[in-house]
Amino acid sequence: MAVGWFYLSCLVLGSLGSMCILFTIYWMQYWRGGFAWDGSTYMFNWHPVLMVTGMVVFYSAASLVYRLPQSWVGPKLPWKLLHAALHLMAFILTVLGLVAVFKFHNHNKIANLYSLHSWLGITAVFLFACQWFLGFAVFLLPWAPVWLRSLLKPIHVFFGSSILSLAITSVISGINEKLFFSLKNGTNQYSHLPSEAIFANSTGVLVVVFGLLVLYILLASSWKRPEPGMLTDRQLPLQLRPGSRPFPVTYKPVAVRQPCEP
For residue 247, the model assigns a pLDDT of 45
For residue 188, the model assigns a pLDDT of 87
For residue 111, the model assigns a pLDDT of 96
Q: What is the DSSP string of 9-38?
A: HHHHHHHHHHHHHHHHHHHHHHTS----SS
Domain regions of the chain by residue span? 1-225
Please, what is the average pLDDT of the chain? Answer: 87
CA distances from 242 to 117, 232, 238, 245, 251 (A): 49, 19, 12, 9, 16
**pLDDT in tens for each of the 262 residues of the chain?**
466 777 888 899 999 999 999 999 999 999 999 999 999 999 999 999 999 999 999 999 999 998 888 888 888 899 999 999 999 999 999 999 999 999 999 999 999 999 999 999 999 999 999 999 999 999 998 888 999 999 999 999 999 999 999 999 999 999 999 999 999 887 789 999 999 999 999 999 999 999 999 999 898 767 777 766 555 544 444 444 445 554 444 445 545 445 444 4
CA distance 158 to 41: 37
For the domain made up of 1-225, give the CATH fold. Answer: Four Helix Bundle (Hemerythrin (Met), subunit A) (1.20.120)
For residue 231, the model assigns a pLDDT of 53
Q: Is 146 exposed, middle or buried (0-12, 13-18, 19+ CB in 10 A)?
A: exposed
For residue 225, the model assigns a pLDDT of 73
For residue 19, the model assigns a pLDDT of 98
For residue 253, the model assigns a pLDDT of 52
Report pTM.
Answer: 0.85
CA distance 240 to 222: 17
Q: What is the DSSP string of 155-192?
A: HHHHHHHHHHHHHHHHHHHHHHHHHHHHS-SGGG-GGG
For residue 6, the model assigns a pLDDT of 74
Task: Give the single-character DSSP code of 222.
Answer: G
Q: What is the pLDDT of residues 180-214, one digit of tens each?
A: 999 988 778 999 999 999 999 999 999 999 999 99
Task: Give the single-character DSSP code of 93.
Answer: H
For residue 133, the model assigns a pLDDT of 95
